[in-house]
Structure 1
């Protein structure tokens, strides 16, 4: 009820709480396409002072702060110790209780009924401000005491949210508001959208059910969380090894590791045990000429125990029962109601259209692989490509820029990002020195995001270097959302409170008052957003020098900064629809679009500090011939996700392995291998249940937006402003279909029906700079 997903991560699925979702909002092989110009000279002006400062800020080690009188995490004066964080949570809970009681009394005063939507959003902001902070600190803070306090706070706050989940009074008060035509008429479109989100989330949770069924809903929700965590743990569990004979390693191309493996097998006189996912397994799949060892490794990598399959199927059944409990045909029907897709039937139309477009390209690529296999094994024409042939006949290559570039130090990349945002939006990145104790590690850099007219829009805390105990991958955390604050009427929260409650009010203000922005012409004040980027780049050092990023790391940083700018620019009156708090099948659009900019020589020239580097094409840099096969595979996985969340799961004879085999046989291009059950490693089934199509969907939209709006002139301010004003600024406060339809000037899209889904499915998604899996 109280918040949309605000944290985005490459590698970790999003966790969903029962009804009141956590306030939290994560790629495959990538290849660049050919740049049509053989060489272009940068026309960028020499580096400005701001450019030089950004480079130095990120490229050189920072001296640890000597904390004498710490200000507290994120500048909050109370967050100086782990115990203080627990005290802040207790204070926030009391403030939330007071506000909840005020909302429940709203029917006693008509004036209060007009404030219900605003107060529900304030309640959401109160809770999310602490929960999001706890989620960040328990992942990023190096001090175990802080991590433990963050875990305790997270559990305590979520328990309170679950109590609100069953608060029938809140649901009834909101029902009174939405039934009152005068109140509804007074709501802005954004306020009405926020009210509908609250209402739908209440109904999704079965709040309208009789008490016994509501209790069943809560128990099923808890069971789903437990099974989901168990399923995720099992996806990471090691698989039994494959037994490889010495003779099967003859001719392995990798002379280093291949020679060592052969020597080991020869000396020990035993079969080699090759564990799935290991470097040895990867080497065999890419380099072993003999088919048998690759087949063994593939089967071992895709095996499951009966217990692992049972965990997944119990999770799917529990979701199906939950949906039936609230009157929905399936979990997909329940989940997709408030997404752009609206229904599983519409998702299927999109996937069918996308598959129809992709299949000819994938078949052509598969034919090329078959010809390579034929030449290699001297077989009759066009032998069947098996799953273990994919990496051998089309070895994965590391991503590379499409043109020659200077060394891409971390500071250089942030300089290019700032230049790009300046060109598109009139927004730049400035250094901001954190106060002592404001950050959780000396690695963390703080940036101000500054608009050339409005001033500071918000802050980005960049925690970008790998360290022990820090989670891998890349993530964007929204710690604080934008929202309007001048009409909060906090005094009304204390009308029936004790005097002691007023003391708590000061402690529970998560950020100081100066973190707000007044818009003079509108005479309104907004809370400014705070986001954190987590990556795992190599730390700079005096001996080693600056951090030089690989191309895939540059892509990662651009992707995550797309989310960050969505959070910064999304200036909505309600935090529940701010920035990345929007539908799952819309949230990836800004981040994927950012990757497209790395396909343009004009944008790549922004990496040139002084405008003196010749931007040249990297020789024979071709399209990945297997990209269409990979896209086809992603479509199959999205279809499998829909099948697993359909009414079928409640059938007594449902078998997840049989469903996978049937789908592979009827819609796949590469044969299913009997005895394998890859689905137990499909971790996104938990975090993205029934929405795995979202990444493909947003890839298609981002490709079209790039071609229509930016491909001819990617630094065009007019195009940037159109995108900013039409999409970024509204977060989730407008219907995404209306935003995309307005952006692309398409009335077909604005309707947002099944035809619109099918239309998106017909668009090309193969010309983006990077191919990504679900993230």
Structure 2
């Protein structure tokens, strides 16, 4: 029996992780693709006249089991993968791409959709139904429904190639990250690194049956070394290894894949009648055009550069005092930490005992309760894909609202970084409001035998960030699954996550949870105030770094011709020149592990982090002016979150704020 092909007979129809074996996936996908094809055939060959209900709505609810199995499989491929899962992914991706192409190129089906679309003015649709109709029609057109047969076949092949190459890019980046570790037996080489981190390095060494210490390129291991190691040669070696990920000419090199992916995206855009891939992508974003994105990025670049340069000058002075005349990028984090300590008397390691993971999670749960009336209860009768995962039942006024999976610690089969994802979308059907299953995945330091998991302040903000995304999913209250939760314009999706980070800097909120894990003592008031003041520390540098990634992403997707005759490294250096504050190392490059744009969904969209910062600064300013827990404003914000993609995002924002967002809100927060 294949559990993926049965009705999930579990609490809240949650994913039956413990019953699923690797050999179940491929047969399940093959069977469910056939089932979903039959559902589409029934819609296509319906003898009745096309209506919104029998065509558009029927499509929105089709393929539910396939969607759920896809969510399970691809989330496992990110959070608990292995060679076998990755091999299956190589078979499954083309299968799903082919299925998707068959639907989008089904002329008879498109005829029905177009028939409904053409008479939309005569239909009595509500706002959400109208949005679904528009998005469905547009989705088909953007997938090639208006192309001739020959071009449809070309597009199908491009999509197939892209799915395989993007998957390969991600697998290479992960393998390259896992392939490196630094083994150290002499403790003196680790001078400056706090004892708690050294304990972690010892545990990592034991896992590899080694004596001494092991540092990896996983974020919780790599970052503390770059922040505290006085050994400059060690920092240099680690930074070099990190910068060489998938850029060393070895078996996991991604340079050719970058060129192939970018070329295929350009071909796809041209085939669909667009000048370039960025034009194609941005038509469906708040920003709407590459010109507007470049204008936005360059305006911020002009304003932030003087601040960034001033910050680097301060770091240079500190480095000079240590006899370093040529400060390099691998010195940045070390001296930034020194300067932060000097300016604010803040030491991440000194703060960590006040940020026990469980207490930070309690705080974010409490905040969701205060703002939106949600309650969280840990439950143990839901299956999990790994023993580290914890599961929570979320309720509102005693009614079940959502299921939450929390997966916080790094392991071999888990990709780096932090993300929110969904195992099941929310939707309403047959009088039932079917609730979502949401997951938050991070890579925080594991507890040791002596110490619980303690977070750096940056990790605290990371948890709040991902939980902001989770709330977008949890509060979803829409009719259709494909307009639910985070199914919004891509440059709007970061608003809820970045908005929630603001609370981490608010003294009245920090005092409620920043408590020493051993003594229960609240973080001293002066430290809380300094932490609050430190919000804009190195903001100029961080802004330029983000703008560099944004400009590079836009260049890859507007200037593919310019890349053809250049190396990936040369292209990257040229396109980020205005944002680079340190000399570039010829042996390193960011692009070959830039998974956001070559594997994730941020292609021609990386700018949206900054775009959403304008939205979040403006939204939080509204709370600040009226009270950070103001119930009336929280109620309006809840409407924005629960509406998902049912309305135009600017309309949603204006309904909440009473006006359009202002870039000045971000500049004021960042630079005063």
User: Which residue is 2:41 aligned to?
Assistant: 101
Q: Is the aligned partner of 1:474 residue 2:418?
A: yes
**More divergent stretch after superposition (174-183 vs 401-410):** 401-410
The one of 439, 456, 463 equivalent to 1:557 is 463
- Distance change in 2, residues 1:146/1:679 (3 Å): closer
Residue 390 of structure 1 corresponds to 332
Matching of residues 667-706 of structure 1 within 5 Å: 668-672=580-584, 677-686=589-598, 687=600, 688-706=602-620
SS at match of 1:479: strand
After TM superposition, the structure 1 = structure 2 runs for residues 329-478 of structure 1, keeping only pairs within 5 Å, are 329-372=275-318, 387=329, 390-391=332-333, 393-395=335-337, 407-434=354-381, 438-452=383-397, 455-466=399-410, 469-478=413-422
Q: From the two aligned structures, give the one with the greater helix fraction.
A: 2
* 2:74 pairs with 1:135: yes
Match of 1:708 in 2: 622
Residues 478 and 530 in structure 1, CA contact (< 8 A), matched pair in contact too? yes
Q: Tell me how far 1:328 sits from its aligned partner.
A: 0.4
Aligned to 1:596: 502
Contact 1:425 1:720 in 2 (8 A): yes
Deviates more, 1:155-164 or 1:356-365: 155-164
The residue that corresponds to 2:155 in the other structure is 217
Cα distance in 1 for residues equivalent to 2:433 and 2:227: 57
Q: Which residue of structure 2 lines up, in the alignment, with residue 618 of structure 1?
A: 527
| CA deviations over 1:186-224 (Å, ceiling 9, x no partner) | 222212222222222222222321111111112222232
1:390 Cα shift?
3.5
Distance 1:182 1:717 in 2: 39
Q: Which has the higher mean CA deviation after the structures are superposed, 141-150 or 345-354? A: 141-150
SS at structure 2 position matched to 1:606:
coil
Change in 2 beyond 3 A, CA 1:401/1:598: farther
- For 2:82 and 2:574, how far apart are their aligned partners in 1? 49
Q: Residue 196 of structure 1 aligns with which residue?
A: 134
| Structure 1 portions without partners, runs of 5+ | 1-68, 242-250, 258-273, 487-523, 750-758, 769-775
Change (3 A) 1:81 1:74: same
| Distance change in 2, residues 1:195/1:547 (3 Å) | same
Where in structure 2 are the equivalents of 1:531-550 lying within 5 Å? Answer: 531-537=438-444, 544=450, 547-550=453-456
Taking the TM superposition and a 5 Å limit, the aligned residue runs for 1:578-593 are 578-593=484-499
Matched, 1:663 2:575: yes
- Taking the aligned partners of 2:568 and 2:92, their CA distance within structure 1 comes to 37
Offset from partner CA, 1:646-684 (integer Å, 9 cap, x none): 144378646544443333445654455668654334333
Alignment partner, residue 483 of structure 1: 427
**Aligned equivalents of 1:742 and 1:665: distance in 2?**
40
| Greater mean alpha carbon deviation, residues 528-537 or residues 585-594 | 528-537
How far apart are residue 169 of structure 1 and its match?
Answer: 2.4
Which of these two proteins has the greater Rg computed from alpha carbons?
A: 1
SS class of match (1:685): helix
- Per the TM alignment, residue 695 of structure 1 is displaced from its structure 2 partner at its CA by 1.2
Partners of 2:354 and 2:514 within 8 A in 1: no
How far did 1:228 drift? Answer: 2.9
Contact 2:490 2:608 in 1 (8 A): yes
Q: 1:678 to 1:417 in 2, by over 3 A?
A: closer
1:639 and 1:429, CA in 2 relative to 1: closer, same or farther beyond 3 A?
same
Structure 1 residue 414, shift from structure 2 partner: 3.2
1:311 aligns with 257
**What is the distance in 1 between the residues matched to 2:352 and 2:334?**
30
Query: 1:121 aligned to 48, 52, 60, which one?
Result: 60
Deviation at 1:723, TM superposition (A): 0.6
Mapped contact 2:476–2:642 kept (Cα < 8 A) = yes
Aligned partners of 1:276, 1:425: CA distance in 2, in Å? 38
Q: Which moved more, 1:589-598 or 1:194-203?
A: 194-203
Does the Cα contact within 8 Å between 2:266 and 2:277 map onto a contact in 1? yes
- The structure 2 residue matched to 1:187, chosen from 121, 125, 130, is 125
Q: State how far apart, in whole Å, the 1-side matches of 2:362 and 2:527 are.
A: 23
Alpha-carbon deviation of 1:446? Answer: 2.6
> What is the 5 A alignment of 1:259-338?
287=230, 301=243, 305=249, 308-338=254-284
TM-score, normalising length: structure 2 = 0.78
Could you list the per-position Cα deviations for residues 619-665 of structure 1 after superposition, in whole angstroms to 9, with x for gaps in the alignment?
Answer: 86563753312311221221111111114437864654444333344
The corresponding residue for 1:575 is: 481
**Distance apart, 1:580 and its partner CA:** 1.1
One of 641, 656, 663 as aligned partner of 1:760: 663
Contact 1:423 1:716 in 2 (8 A): no
Provide the rounded CA distance (Å) in 2 between the counterparts of 1:78 and 1:595: 31
Displacement of 1:548 in angstroms is 4.2
Is 586-595 or 459-468 further displaced after alignment? 459-468
- The alpha carbon displacement at 1:166 in A equals 2.8
Q: Distance in 2 between matches of 1:636 and 1:532?
A: 30
1:381-412: CA deviations, max 9, x gaps? Answer: xxx86545534643577986899797444433
Identify if the C-alpha distance between structure 1 residues 402 and 231 changes in structure 2 by more than 3 Å, giving closer, same or farther.
closer
Any idea what SS the aligned residue of 1:586 has? Answer: coil
Indicate if the aligned counterparts of 1:402 and 1:618 stay in contact, CA closer than 8 A: no
Equivalent residue, structure 1, for 2:206: none
Is the CA contact (8 Å cut-off) linking 1:78 and 1:84 kept in structure 2? no
2:585 pairs with 1:639: no
Partner of 1:731: 644
Give the structure 2 partner of residue 503 of structure 1.
none
C-alpha separation in 2, matches of 1:676 and 1:446: 40
Q: TM-score, normalised by structure 1?
A: 0.68
TM-fit CA distance, 1:91: 5.9
1:558–1:591 Cα contact (<8 Å) kept:
yes
Instruction: Identify unmatched segments of 5+ residues in structure 2.
Output: 1-7, 180-187, 195-214
3-state SS of paired residue (1:342)? coil
C-alpha deviations, 1:141-163, integer Å up to 9, x for none? Answer: 69999998898777755543343
CA contact (8 A) 1:351 1:761 kept: no
Change (3 A) 1:322 1:693: same
In the TM superposition, residue 300 of structure 1 has moved relative to its aligned partner by 9.9
> Matched residue pairs, number?
616
- Match of 1:764, SS? helix
Aligned CA RMSD, in angstroms, stands at: 4.5
Shift of the 279–693 alpha-carbon distance from structure 1 to 2, 3 Å rule, reads closer
Query: Partner of 1:268 in structure 2?
Result: none
Instruction: Identify if the C-alpha distance between structure 1 residues 538 and 236 changes in structure 2 by more than 3 Å, giving closer, same or farther.
Output: closer
